[in-house]
Chains A and B, each alone.
Chain A
Amino acid sequence: MRSDQEIRDLLRSWVLTKAPELSADGLTDRTPLFEERHLRSVHLPELLLLLERLRAAPIEVEDLRPGDFRDIHTMVDRFGGAGVTP
């Protein structure tokens, strides 16, 4: 299983490929990704697939809340190792 830090790093890389206007220096774990429109709803299915792969467990869409994707920190907290529910 990947550590939270590995998940954080891989999420960060993915966000940078999808949000070309964001620089590596400008992206922090607290950058509001959707609120500032760096990412849009159309990115979510691919992001969910990535999160499922990184934690090697499915994510039930019906249990999701909009705030779950606020920033990288929130996603790691919600979906990382500590957030995995059987």
Chain B
Amino acid sequence: MSSTANAPKPRLAEAIASLGDTVSRLSHLSKRSYQNPYITLRQWPAEVRPEDDWFSSPEYVSLYGTPLWDTLDEPARRRLAFHEAVNFYSLNIHGEKGLMQGLAQRLYRKDLVDVSEYLHHFLDEENKHSIYFGGFCTRYAKVYRSRQFALEETRSQSVEDFLFFAKTMIFEEIVDRYNWVQARDARLHPVARFINDNHHVEESRHLVFGRQLVTALWGACVPSWGDDTVADLRRQLEQFFVVSWREYYNPDVYADAGLDDPWEVAERAWSAPAQRAHRRAVSTKVLSFLTEAGILDKEPADAF
């Protein structure tokens, strides 16, 4: 592997500084929409009826379009959609835990001082999202376990920063598509619609920041990274796509929905043509961004 030890600090600082106007505008919007999640949580019902209401849009349930979906009656579909909503909120909780750790580590770091004001808002808003997600999961169900397990890896700071913000952006872009669709779906229970709508509104600011920062980091750092480093980064981002999507096909969900052989259900759903098409459609926007920016040179075939 080529050396990545020397981060191009002046260029990186210049790239970060170029975000100044965006950071000011987004910070202003965050202050204007500052919220107290506990007021909302108090208004949620004490219990919900998973077989009577939709908590996920049926077209966004992981078995939709598969032969197994056709065998489920309406209450079973709603029950599955409820557990999928809990899984969706759980994977957001786990994703946001890592995100908050990464943001906190970067607060007031010398080369990131110019974006620290917005990092404060980012961190605050991610914590509040997790309060909503966690509030739903613990009041009505549980938090599904994560299969994330990190081994110690040595990377340069520039590679670490880029991977952190690029992975955050990929995760949030996929989630945001689900939020956007489900916030507008009048079939969904009002609490589910609220969670999706609130998350979409706030994530739209994070996505603007994420796209600009990832572009700036890439432009500043790629000249100093050797071909091997760039190839390695691309491979890791491609695999991150796969892993991000795999989490939507959680065997624990299928078991809780009463389906036999949940790992095989997950594997069949993952391989189903309708689900492959779904993943590709939902990923189109972020894939276009990554390829047009030159960050990826091909789509992550294993994800589709």
B150 contact set on A, CB distance < 8 A: 41, 44
Smallest CB gap from B235: residue in A? A40
B149 touching A48 by the CB < 8 A rule?
yes
Taking A42-B243, A46-B242 as contacts, is the C-beta distance between A61 and B263 under 8 angstroms?
no
CA distance A33 to B152 in the complex (A): 14
Q: How many residues of B contact A (CB 8 A)?
A: 25
Residues of B within 8 A of A34 (CB): 151
Q: In which size bucket is the chain A interface?
A: 20 to 34
Contact of B264 with A53 in the complex, beta carbons under 8 Å: yes
Q: Is B31 an interface residue (CB 8 A)?
A: no
Q: B151–A41 contact, CB under 8 A? A: yes
Closest to B255 in A: A58
Interface of A is mostly: helix
- Determine which of B153, B246, B302 lies in contact with A45 in the assembled complex, contact meaning CB atoms within 8 Å: B246
Q: How far is the CA of A18 from the CA of B261 in the complex (A)?
A: 26
> Contact flags (1/0) for A18-49 with B, using CB distance below 8 Å?
10000000000000001001001111111011
Interface-lining segment among B54-62, B112-120, B140-148: B140-148
The smallest C-beta distance from B267 to any residue of chain A, in angstroms, reads: 6
Instruction: Give Cα A49–Cα B251 distance, bound, in whole angstroms.
Output: 9
Q: Within B125-171, which residues are at the interface with A (CB < 8 Å)? A: 145-153
Binding site for A on B (CB under 8 A): 1, 145-153, 236, 239-240, 242-243, 246-247, 251-252, 261, 263-264, 266-267, 302
Known: A40-B153, A41-B150, A42-B243. 12 other contacts (CB 8 A): A37-B1, A42-B236, A42-B239, A45-B147, A46-B246, A52-B263, A53-B264, A53-B266, A56-B261, A60-B145, A61-B145, A61-B148
Q: A residues touching B (Cβ–Cβ < 8 Å)?
A: 17-18, 34, 37, 40-46, 48-49, 52-53, 56, 58, 60-61, 64, 66, 69
The 8 closest A-B pairs by CB, nearest first: A53-B263, A45-B147, A41-B150, A48-B147, A42-B239, A45-B243, A41-B151, A44-B149
